[in-house]
Structure 1
Amino acid sequence: MGDTPTTIWPLDDARPGEVVVIARWSPSAGKSETIAALLPELIQQSRAESGCLGYQAYRPDGADNGDLVLVERYADQSALDAHRNSVHFRTLVLERIVPLLADRHAVVTTVQ
């Protein structure tokens, strides 16, 4: 899901003006594995977007409920908007993953 433990924190080389999304997804009971199976396609397609600078998914330490943390980086707000308007975001996230979540939170910020 995430990268190997030797991977640097995905925001170490973030530059001013980049847009960062940190999202926490809490799956409904019994839906964690279904969501995990959809993540590789979501990550691959998101990373292929021209304005996407990084897209990683992690299971928080000690999270035995299947929670996921996504760390996304975009060149600017228009790149994030393009991601949110992409076919893969609509079909994978909005149509297939969101209905399987008990809770979903996201923080969007611009690197200063």
Structure 2
Amino acid sequence: MNLVTAIIQPDAVDDVQIALHQHGINGMTLTEVSGYARQRGHTEVYRGDSITIDFTDKVKIEILCTGDQAWAVVKVICDAARTGSVGDGKVWISPVEDVVRIRTGERGDAAI
């Protein structure tokens, strides 16, 4: 089992959600986050004053999937979230040792 984690632009969430659903991925966790990478924020002008915004708003998506699905999930996310602009985001895969569905007690792939 794997945990696919993606940090994407907030504008891309709907497209990613639709694309994942079309590929049979029915569950994901979404968290609003902020941070910076190479772009290191940006400067805006507000009422004549320059304001530096160090962190940009992003969305973190987490999807628990089988090992066979992980790279397909990454491809779907990348295809749906790609604009070609700086700040499109990142996706990574982390191994998951085990998972338990609280309601039924199922473990492993059955709990996904």
TM-score by length of 1: 0.44
State the structure with more CA Rg: 2
TM-score, with normalisation over the residues of structure 2? 0.44
Bigger proportion of residues as helix: 1
More strand by share: 2
